[in-house]
Structure 1
Amino acid sequence: MLNALEVFTTVVVGVMVGVEFAVAFVINPIVNALPDDSTVQARAHGGRMLGAVMPVWYFSSLALVAVCAFVGRHHHGAGLAVASGGLLIVSVVMSVLLLVPINNLSKTWTAENRPADWKQQANRWDRYHYLRVAVLVAAFALLVAAVV
């Protein structure tokens, strides 16, 4: 039972980290190379779509890691699972405090109503996202180390 839980948790967290990595290093560079009006439209759509999905995914991942840590508390990797969960908490706090406020603004932007500093706001979101991705990759690495 514990092995199945660990595999399921690793897949859920790993895919989430992969999506966030792809946003940072694949999707956003493509979107940022588009003409400004298209960039704004793509970022707004991405913000709405991922803004609806990612909170559930983040909290589900955190809950799964917590369950793995609890159920496997007598196994060798329990401390690493707890550390992974701690980093997932850091990523949630970063999201709520740093990224969500910018995302909530940018998901309403259009070519006609975007603020004059939209590029600076988008760049700030990207910098925070790079940091969050680093935290997520570390959390995932700790999770994998915990379950192997």
Structure 2
Amino acid sequence: MVDVMTATIEILAVLLAGTLVGSEFAVAAFLHPIVGRLPAEGFQAARSDSARLLGRVMPFWYLTTLALMLVAVVIDPGPQRWFIGAGVGLMAVVVLLTVTMMVPVNNRIAAGEVSPPLVTRWDRLHWVRVALLGAVLVLLVVASA
């Protein structure tokens, strides 16, 4: 029974982390470049609206993924536990980066301050976050294999 529970938790962690990486990559690689080609007024409205909406939704996704990873590292007795633990540590870095550096910028953009330097700063930080999330996913997949 424990093996089924462990496998289920690990599968859920991989699924949540995978969809998180996919959505964050889609925002960075597709949504923001498309929005960037809009006229100034449309660009400002789209960036501000998306910052507000995603700023409300994404914290739950991040924290649920981190919680599942923590459960997986606690209940997994195997040697792959170290990969999951490294993923948890990296995910904690992602959450810390997000809360300390990205949320303040996102809040300013959501409030309507959509200046090019601010948007560029957020986009660069976002690509760093996408890369870190990709590494988290690789660690989880390796641990689950």
The question of a shared fold, defined as TM-score above 0.5 by the shorter chain, is answered with: yes
TM-score, length basis structure 2: 0.94
1:54-97 deviations in whole A, cap 9, x for unaligned?
1111111001001011110x212100000001111011111011
Query: Which runs of 5 or more residues in structure 1 are unaligned?
Result: none
Q: Is 1:49 aligned to residue 46 of structure 2?
A: no
TM-score, length basis structure 1: 0.92
Percentage identity across paired residues of the two chains: 38
Shift of 1:33: 1.0
Q: Is 1:26 aligned to residue 30 of structure 2?
A: yes
Match of 2:9 among 5, 16, 25: 5
Query: Which runs of 5 or more residues in structure 2 are unaligned?
Result: none
**Counterpart in the other structure of 1:63:** 67
**Counterpart in the other structure of 2:134:** 137
C-alpha RMSD over aligned residues: 1.0
**Counterpart in the other structure of 2:91:** 88
Aligned residues: 141
Q: Is 1:101 aligned to residue 104 of structure 2?
A: yes
Output the CA distance in 1 between the equivalents of 2:97 and 2:89.
12
1:76-130 deviations in whole A, cap 9, x for unaligned?
2100000001111011111011110011011121xxxx46xx0110000000000
Aligned letter for 1:92? V
After TM superposition, where is structure 1 displaced by more than 4 Å over at least 4 residues in a row? Answer: none
